[in-house]
Chains A and B, each alone.
Chain A
Amino acid sequence: MSKRRILLIFVLLAIFAIDLAFPQSVEASDTSNRVLLVYDSKNDVKNDKVNIDALQRSLTSMNLRVKTLQQSDYKKGMLSNKKYLGVITMVNWRQVGLTNQTFIRDRDNFSGIKLHIGEGLTSTEIKQLDSQVEKIYQQQLILSDGHDKETLPFKQSITVVTKVNKSAKQIGLLSTQQANQKRYPFGYINGKQGYLPFFSNEGLSLMVQTKMIAQLFNRIGKYQPLLTITNVTPYTNLATLDKLSLFLYKKEIPFAVSMTSVSDNAEMKAFDRFTAVLRNVENRGGIIFLQTPTVSSGIDSDGQIINKNFLTYIVSLARQQVFPVGISSEGFWNQDKILRTNSLKFADHWLLLPNGEKVNYVNEDNDA
């Protein structure tokens, strides 16, 4: 294989597999880190449920425990200062917007941290933000943060903050592309009240959003992307994986490998070969995350099967001197009672990846 072809494979793999991931240790929880996320709609037609998934994952990475509710499921009194550190309102489909008046009333009375994402700011919220907002139409804005810039997709309408309180914090900057360029803050924090005009599940927006939410919830830490090679399985072309890890090692690029393992047949030569390459990855500074398998059905209703599988994965890998530093999974595993408690609990470090095409819950509880 020529060098150019290896490079091509690398680039393809990188495009295919790099995901922004947020490794962070998770500690036992108490009420001081619980957040309530209320959204208007999943907006399945535009597949905007990926935004909810991305938000859930970044909150978890900040060691926040997030309870997710669709607005219609909200009942009076659910949101109280005793139970929650903060509340996040997410308008995911502007044509729907927030309609649950009970929630809006409870939110107005809530004195914890509040974040509004998307359009439909109420007058109380604007008052609490202590600013003025304006709806601008048909714009393609540029998001900048320090030296980083990103051209955002075209937006029909977007509500931006026009008058800024001096004590307020601004994270990221939105600018128009017209001659007399106008600038608006992207993330806006006034005390305990925060506002994001939209939430995106990728790119610079996701990083700036994460930074903003971390500041709002007083989370210290720097959130940096990690090059993660996902979709590695025991059936992957091992020569390519080996070459890729060598390439990254020589270029001194830190990386992680997220791989699934098998619960049977670990005595075969094929398994030895797989683990030999994984040992190479470890020796080259790559960190290994054990990825959760594909959920084929909800038959494992008490989680015994997945629990046993994980024990087998870990033991069979350890026998071959492969030691994953944590567990990686698609975001929905963290929103499922059975899957979460029987797999993710095996590790202190989680790597939550975007949901794939097949999302099969065993027992969804949206209470990460």
Chain B
Amino acid sequence: MKKFFKTCFINFSKWVSPALFGTILVALISGFILFVPPIHGLADNGDFYRSILSNGIYRLPTSYSQYSDYVIPKFGIMQYFNENNVSVLSSQTLFIQLALILNKLFYSKSIFTIQFMGLVYYLFYLGGIYLLINALVHPFRKLKHYFLALLIVLIFADSAYTLYFNSFFAEPGMLVLMVYICAAILSLARNVYSKRWPMITLFFVSTVLLVTNKQQNAPLALSFGVVAIGIMFLPHFKARRMATALGIIIVLLSGVGIYKSIGSEIVGANTFQTFSHGTLLETGDPTKKIERGGVDGQFALMRNENYYSKDYATLDPSSPYVEKHLMNKTGFGWIIRYYAANLKQFNNLLDLAAKDITAVQPRAVGDFVRNSNHKPGEQVKYFTFYSSLVGAFFPGKYAFDCLLAIGFIAVYSVGLYLDFKSNRYMGILRFFLIFGLMTIVIFVPIVSIVGDGDADLAKHLFLIPISLNMSLLVFVSDLINHTLWNTKGDKASV
């Protein structure tokens, strides 16, 4: 019996590598939820217009509200001159245009169906997953490597992530690119491919696209700049070291560029929400606190108000009165000074952010289409085991995240030191990857709170759970491959 299983496994592993095995599973699991009707996805929280209008897609008129409750599967494609300006500069446009081309080729020239958006992300994602698993297990085909592939499936085929594909949010692009970035670095570190330049190119292209995917990603240019430092340590590489330096500069510039492209209206919205969703929260009566900072205490009544109010506003936050008496006073400097004077409140806000890290699946919008016999706003529970497990048990404390980051960095510093001494590069590349990911974990909550308060917090933190999962996977794979502190035995890099 045991022998039978063994021969079965040997035959299986001959034909199906762990990477292929994992990719097929991800394809089946997420393909089912995305494309088998009735399809699933994420409903519009009111943000879709930013990405669709400038790409020539519009809402078809309906007798019901198209917001929040249900996923809207069909949109119209503009046939004539598109008068909408590009409201937000983003690399998301590339994905949408690709989906539009496919849609026009295979479906219709006038109606856009959201599955094509999902298909574009899905195909890129599967490629990324294949590269990632291959980078972590190559060239082994032992049972434990199949289990590692299964772990990756469990984490990355989780519906909490893949549901994003059938939507016009920018997050799925970030997820896909993040997988490519990590896969590229890990492939380089373990010498999976004989030529290095494809993976280096992949890394820089993905990084630039990720940084320019959303304006809030601008600070990430620094984190990925750190990751890219590792590439400099590759051997026989003198001539290309300049090219890598150039790549880092391009990444940093793209960060600056995307930051500069933030329009005045969005700056206004962020300034307002940093105040109403940040400085006024997690404290008793803020009236006197903000007065001490030189702002009329009456504005404390704006606690929890949105810049784009959902229904009714006592005073329109975009009115000149609010701009003159509130927003002109509460700039970046004011916010920093305020939090410096109210550290306890700031710490409470960071804990709030830490709690939101695990909220990957947005609860505010529904996952089902209309007429699918589901309640408005209902959530998909299919294949969300990993995200609900983490949501239930991951501690919502910022201090814990910091300790975790320090732990990861400390563990990989040992590998860095050993490899540095013995002139190997795997540990160095890996260290800078982990270090870059941990800067995301530590600094993104701070940037989010200072930049936009708790408004849309869970979405601003989207890259943190991915970074943590990625670090966990690297760690587990190092344990399995016995390469945590000793990269000499790594057969992949021989």
Contacts and interface: CB of A to CB of B under 8 A. Distances in A.
A305 B308 CA distance: 16
A222 interface: no
B309 A269 contact: no
Contacts of A296: 308-313, 316
Give the one of A233, A235, A260, A306 with max B CB within 10 A. Answer: A235
Contacts of B288: 269
B65 interface: yes
Contacts of B301: 234-235, 262, 264-265, 268, 270-271, 274
Interface in B244-294: 285-288
A273 B299 CA distance: 12
Contact of B287 (A269, A294, A305, A309): A269
B381 interface: no
Contacts of A262: 301, 314
B289 to A, nearest CB: 11
A48 interface: no
A347 interface: no
A16 to B, nearest CB: 12
Contacts of B286: 268
A167 interface: no
A82 B288 CA distance: 62
B417 interface: no
Contacts of A295: 311-312
Contacts of B315: 233-235, 260, 294
B198 interface: no
Interface in A223-268: 233-238, 260-265, 267-268
Given A268-B285, A269-B285, A299-B67, A235 B299 contact: yes
A306 B312 contact: yes
A270 B313 contact: no
A270 B297 contact: yes
A309 B312 contact: yes
A95 interface: no
A301 B315 CA distance: 21
Contact of B314 (A260, A269, A305, A358): A260
A262 B312 CA distance: 10
Given A270-B287, A296-B316, A297-B310, A264 B304 contact: yes
Contacts of B304: 264-265
A306 B309 CA distance: 13
Decide if the interface of chain A is mainly helix, strand, loop or mixed: loop
Interface residues of B, number: 28
B225 to A, nearest CB: 40
B298 A299 contact: no
B318 to A, nearest CB: 10
Contacts of B300: 265, 268-270
Interface string A273-296: 110000000000000000001111
Contacts of A297: 309-311
B47 interface: no
B60 interface: no
B296 A237 contact: yes
Give the one of A271, A274, A297, A309 with max B CB within 10 A. Answer: A297
B196 interface: no
Nearest to B316: A294
B491 interface: no
B403 interface: no
B23 to A, nearest CB: 42
A230 B302 CA distance: 20
B312 A270 contact: no
B480 interface: no
Contacts of B308: 296
A183 B310 CA distance: 55
A297 B299 CA distance: 23
Interface string A91-124: 0000000000000000000000000000000000
Contact of A305 (B302, B303, B311): B311
B321 interface: yes
Contact of A235 (B67, B303, B312, B325): B325
B312 A305 contact: yes
Contacts of B287: 268-270, 273
A81 B447 CA distance: 68
B265 to A, nearest CB: 15
A260 B314 CA distance: 6
B322 interface: yes
Contacts of A301: 65
A294 B305 CA distance: 13
Interface string B37-63: 000000000000000000000000000
Give the one of A237, A262, A294 with max B CB within 10 A. Answer: A294
A234 B326 CA distance: 13
A306 B311 contact: yes
A300 B311 CA distance: 6
Interface string B195-213: 0000000000000000000
27 contacts: A234-B314, A234-B315, A235-B296, A235-B301, A235-B321, A238-B298, A260-B314, A260-B315, A261-B314, A264-B303, A264-B304, A267-B285, A268-B286, A268-B287, A268-B303, A270-B287, A270-B297, A273-B297, A294-B313, A295-B312, A296-B311, A296-B313, A297-B309, A297-B310, A299-B310, A306-B311, A309-B312
Interface of B: 65, 67, 285-288, 296-304, 308-316, 321-322, 325-326
Task: Give the top 10 A-B pairs by smallest Cβ distance, nearest first.
Answer: A296-B309, A293-B312, A269-B287, A233-B315, A270-B287, A294-B313, A270-B300, A294-B316, A260-B314, A235-B298
Given A235-B302, A237-B296, A268-B301, 18 more contacts: A234-B314, A234-B315, A235-B299, A264-B304, A265-B304, A269-B297, A269-B300, A270-B300, A271-B301, A293-B313, A294-B313, A294-B316, A295-B311, A296-B310, A297-B310, A299-B67, A300-B311, A306-B312
